[in-house]
Amino acid sequence: MSSEAIKSRLSAETPSREAPRDEAAGNRLIRANIWVAVIAFGVAAAMAMMQAISRANLELPYRSASMYYMSVTAHGILMALVFTTFFIMGLGWAIAQKEIGTVPWRRAGWISFWLAVAGVVMALATVFAFKSSVLYTFYPPLQAHPLFYIGLTLLVVGSWVWAGAMITAWRR
């Protein structure tokens, strides 16, 4: 084997100088998604405790029917939609980074993250303001504040941006 062939082979196997920086940037996106999932899980667990204490007929400050339905709505949204969406997005980015060495479409990843976070904040703001106690099923005739539906739409659109980035990276 010639010295040129050996050099080219070694340079192909040696990670570039950008790899650690690339990995660190990807890790930030992964951690951001997982942290939102963990926070959603924690808040949802607190809502579940409020429901359990209320159903057990124990004393709870500010206990009322509206508080109970607000906690049911928040718990359902946080567990069924927010936790699962952000956990799956974080896990998807982590798997992509492990398999191909970098987080593909990182800018799209941050766009999807912030779209979804903005949507969650909008939706939960209306829930915690007692304007959207519709449970997490959103069945008619219960109606929520328009920002609730806009917020959840942004959450879904954010997950679609993530899915598009994952599919594009997978096809490469």
Q: Is pLDDT above 70 for 100?
A: yes
CA atoms within a 13 Å half-sphere pointing along the CA-CB vector of 164: 11
Contact 93, 26 (CB under 8 A): yes
What pLDDT does residue 8 have? Answer: 53
Mean pLDDT of 56-79: 85
CA distance 57 to 37: 30
Give SS3 for 89. Answer: helix
> How many other C-beta atoms can be found within 10 angstroms of the C-beta atom of residue 109?
27
Alpha helical stretches, state H, the chain: 3-13, 18-55, 65-76, 84-100, 106-128, 146-171
Percentage of residues of the chain with pLDDT beyond 90: 51
Looking at 4-8, 14-18, 36-40, 56-60, which range is the least confident one? 14-18
Mean pLDDT of 40-48: 95
Write the single-letter amino acid at 158: G
What pLDDT does residue 16 have? Answer: 41
> How many other C-beta atoms can be found within 10 angstroms of the C-beta atom of residue 164?
13
Indicate the pLDDT class of residue 63, thresholds 50, 70 and 90: confident
Mean pLDDT of 111-140: 90
- When the pLDDT of each residue in the chain is averaged and rounded to a whole number, the result is 84
Mean pLDDT of 27-44: 95
